[in-house]
Structure 1
Amino acid sequence: MRVFVFILIAYLLGSIPSGLWIGKIFYHVNLREHGSGNTGTTNTFRILGAKAGITTFVIDALKGTIATCLPALFGVSVNPLLFGFFAIIGHTFPIFAGFKGGKAVATSAGVLLGYSPIFLIFLLIIFGIVLYLYSMISLASVAAASVGIIGVLVFPACHFILTSYDPLFMIITLAIATLIIVRHRENLSRIRQKKENIVPFGLNLSHQKPVK
């Protein structure tokens, strides 16, 4: 019963639609009606600016970190990834926003921060490299998720970053990474059409020309 209560708390934490609420309360803007219509960090940056975008990213990441730390904070003998996973589910399908949430990148990063910060740093490096080369947050997110899948399958065998196989960590990472990739399917379609949104820096090696 106690575990169920903390799973519910983790889900509700994840369900806080920070970008949507920040837009409505402080900017009187409904993010669902602008840009991609997504309420996550990227669209918040694009529509509301850097201050709102950074705030949204921090809150969304903290949702994952706090949920992952619940067992340590309250002495619950359960793998913390279980709670982190439900925070991600909450972020993706938030009860406070009609079950239409973000793409889980920031909250997933927060979960990794609470569970395996070195692995997170490695994936952030991959994210940063791809972002600089191709100027697309979407592609960088998909690349980091894909490398995450490879990492949990291969790294323990090589004793690189992850020193041993953790079945739950592997299953949840595979599930989260797959979710991130699936949630970016529209972005991947636009990338193939050379119409994906880009950030105002980097090399844009794939020569995207987003529709204004």
Structure 2
Amino acid sequence: MGTIVAILLGYLLGSFLPAYFITRTLLGVDIRELGTKHAGTTNVYRNVGLWPAVFTALYDTSKGVLAFKLSSLLGLPEHVCFVSAMSAVAGHVFPFYLQFRGGRGAATTVGILLYFLWTEWLKLPFSTLLSDLSILALIVLVLFLTSRRGDVVGLFVLPALALLVMVRMPDRSHFIVLPVLVLLTINLYNIIVWRLIKFQEDIRPWRVLIRPAAFLLLILGYHIGKTSFMFLMSVLIAIFLVLDLVRLSHRRVERFFHDEFKFKMFKETERKRLSSMTLFLLGVTLSYLFFEDELAIAACSFLILGDVAAKIIGMNFGKKKLFHKTVEGTLAHLVLCIYTAYVLHVMNFVPLGVGLLGAIAATICEVLPLAINDNVSVPLFSGIVMNVVKGVIRG
């Protein structure tokens, strides 16, 4: 019963939209018919004025926290109070009296996120908090300077924040991770609607966007052990290699995949060569074959995150050429690799100095016009550098 009361309380608090009522009162129109057609602070500011927008922002950002606090006063458990807070987001997005069409819920979610960052994250030692904030600030700075798009910055920094929180406070991370996921969903929606990210004709967007899912392979390898993982990777490579060989040795098959098959699986540049999917699996396998598991994870993580960042930023916002890549894409690659090294250091996988040198090596290898494909050269070169540095440190 208490849970139901908390959910209803949060929903009702969230469903009250100052943007709608203020605009109705002052202008006699529905804010959802103006501007961006959302009942939010920015739309109120552009169409009604500053002070109505200020009032809207104050209530929208605080109503999730208000739901949490009121539920706490009712003596409800903390997790139920959190559900009440998130119900306020649902109420903002789906108000019952407006045919369930309200705002996007970003301000309410930000309010909840800031509250729990204040109450949970700030419990960490100051040095830890400072280093975490510094690495996140570096990501924001580099990606904003290269893209000038807040939603694009959020696409990277929000998952980065969520991962750091999960590593730092695994038992209470849900208070922060769930609001982050809601904001990330809103970010993705904005990116899709406003078409902030586009891909070159020869790039398969699904292959870029699914690349982070490769972390599931690394997680699996960590849990099942090296022998079992190497067997699994050998099977996967064999499957993709056979597919490539059949495609390359039979013109009819190649024409089918490249010209007739509606789902574009292969790039045009892969017509007469092995696919980058096969080479990626090869790069991961060789990394685990030659290096310690922790170094292999680091090297492959550089490849996964760095590649995604470089492609998204480089293709859409790259202006200054650097060999066959762009300065903007290279900077994005570097900062995501640095972040990866930092997280792996926090997880006690790789010493920070070793990881940072590996990140730099991965970026250098990625930008240089080498004959070897990046999917193989990046993890191997960064792995070699980290292996040598680690050996020197050990003496």
TM-score (norm 1): 0.71
SS in 1 for 2:78: coil
Residue equivalent to 1:3: 3
- Measured after TM superposition, the shift of residue 145 of structure 1 is 6.4
Matches within 5 A, 1:167-206: 168-169=174-175, 172-185=178-191, 187-189=193-195, 191=196
Deviating above 4 A after TM superposition, structure 1's stretches of 4 or more consecutive aligned residues are 132-136
- Distance 1:75-1:145 versus aligned 2 partners, 3 A rule: farther
Structure 1: unaligned runs, 5 residues or longer: 194-205, 207-212
What's 1:75 paired with?
75
**Structure richer in helix, relative to its length:** 2
Q: Which residue of 2 aligns with 1:210?
A: none
CA shift in 2, pair 1:155/1:6, >3 Å: closer
- The secondary structure found in structure 1 opposite 2:194 is helix
Aligned twin of 1:153: 163
Specify the alignment match of 1:203 in structure 2: none
Distance 1:30 1:71, change over 3 A: closer
* Other structure's SS at 1:102 match: coil
| Distance (whole Å) between structure 2 residues aligned to residue 170 and residue 91 of structure 1 | 19
Match in the other structure for 2:14: 14
2:170 and 2:75 map into 1 onto residues whose CA distance is: 24
Q: List alignment gaps of at least 5 residues for structure 2.
A: 123-132, 199-316, 318-395
CA gap 1:142/1:21 in 2 versus in 1, 3 angstroms = farther
Q: Distance between the aligned counterparts of 1:135 and 1:50, measured in 2? A: 28
For 1:43-80, what per-residue CA distance to the aligned partner results, in whole angstroms no more than 9, with x for missing partners?
11111121111111111112111012233222111313
Higher relative contact order (CA 8 A, sep 6+): 1
* Cα distance change on mapping 1:69 and 1:183 into 2, 3 Å: farther
What SS class does the counterpart of residue 100 from structure 1 fall into? coil
* Alignment partner of 1:66 is 2:63: no
Closer/same/farther in 2, CA of residues 11 and 135 from structure 1, 3 Å limit? farther
Q: State the alpha-carbon separation in 2 of the partners of residues 105 and 52 from structure 1.
A: 18
Q: Is the CA contact (8 Å cut-off) linking 1:24 and 1:30 kept in structure 2?
A: yes
Matches within 5 A, 1:48-197: 48-79=48-79, 80-117=81-118, 139-140=149-150, 143-144=153-154, 146-157=156-167, 159=168, 163-166=169-172, 168-169=174-175, 172-185=178-191, 187-189=193-195, 191=196
- Sequence identity percentage: 27
In the alignment of these two chains, the number of paired residues is: 184
CA RMSD of aligned residues (A): 3.3
CA distance in 1, matches of 2:10, 2:178: 15
